[in-house]
Structure 1
Amino acid sequence: MRVLVASRNAKKLRELQRVLDRAGIAGIELVSLDDVPPYPEAPETGETFEANAAAKARDGAAATGLPCVADDSGLEVEALRGMPGVLSARWSGRHGDDEANTNLVLGQLRDVPDERRGAAFVSACALVVPSGDGEFVTTVVRGEWRGSIVREPRGENGFGYDPIFRPEGEERTSAELTPEEKDAQSHRGRALAQLVPALSALAASA
């Protein structure tokens, strides 16, 4: 069974594939937005990660007829009153500019002492499955990964704010962890793991 992952980020597909492999789920072929005909993608205007993830997954399922997984994730910084939040990807004003976004957060926290630099990565993941009668079955889950913001970027792995996020109990940043270590701890890994029962049922129904 083909399942659309509403992303062009190959790292997200590989992350979900590793979750499927660990759970022993076979019979699902993950495809990206690059593998299906283009369709209008609605802007992420939801006020929550959950709303954005569900909207992206519904758009993908409606346009392709395939079950669709989508996520919306970001960084919530306590000293910034939970921001950037759903604006994480465009915090600097340029969507997807990881370096500019990261530098802006570091600049905003320049004078904030270490004990007040708490933060959390948040991921909401949605699975939307067409039911065959024009309706959709929607599952939405949420994962959080708590830690703090370091003062300088470190590490080459990951993307987004990974180089400045140090998970609780770690001396390394998220970008210094191996993919396997990150999967076991990360916000997206925790959310995707909660989708395993629904994905397992989907594979069994094929």
Structure 2
Amino acid sequence: MTCRGLPVALISSLACLALAVSLTLAPYHARAQSRSAPKDAYVYFIYPTDGDTVKSLFWCRFGLRNMGVTHAGDNFSNTGHHHLLIDSNEQISPGEPIPQDRQHLHYGGGETEALIELPPGKHTLQLVMGDGMHFNFDPPLMSKKITITVEGGADRKNRSAAQSHHGKKHIRAARPAETSTAEAPLPDPAKSAGAVDFLKGLLSGTSDSGTKPPR
């Protein structure tokens, strides 16, 4: 007997296989996409806050109440880890995986603060808690979106220039030898008198030939 050209035995086998696969994936699928955070959990920014002006390199500190922070991969109840959304206008859907890129920063190590560098101008920041598999909770647990202004990088340039200056070796120029402006002393006549007498004796023929000229 066939059904649309396929044997009934084959159709039954395929149906059983599909049922087995669905039953295998159902627990993980349900757990990953329907996990809920505590109803009184609250995530927020400790720093910066809405309207703040910060430097191009600043510490961003995350706050969380009535819930624990743990590592990615952990599935403890009432826990999760932080994700920072930068200049993101995407809708946060319940039970969906959180992307990982420059606008979606993951802190799966359980971090509660991070050093952030942004170009000058206005930026939006938002915190989103994810479960151990980086899925949004249902309903999503997220902070209020804040807007900050990042200052220009003048201070950073000055700091880098100062560090470069301190890193250079200061070489001292050699001091020129000091010269004296005093006149050189005149020769002492007494020291050269013997030589003069010896020369006079040679010229007059009275010099003793065995006498050696003074040195």
More helix by share: 1
Do Structure 1 and Structure 2 share a fold, with TM-score over 0.5?
Answer: no
| Range of TM-score over shorter length | under 0.3
Normalising by the residue count of structure 1, what TM-score does the alignment of the two structures yield? 0.22
Whichever of the two has the greater Rg, that structure is: 2
| TM-score of the two chains, using structure 2 as the length reference | 0.21
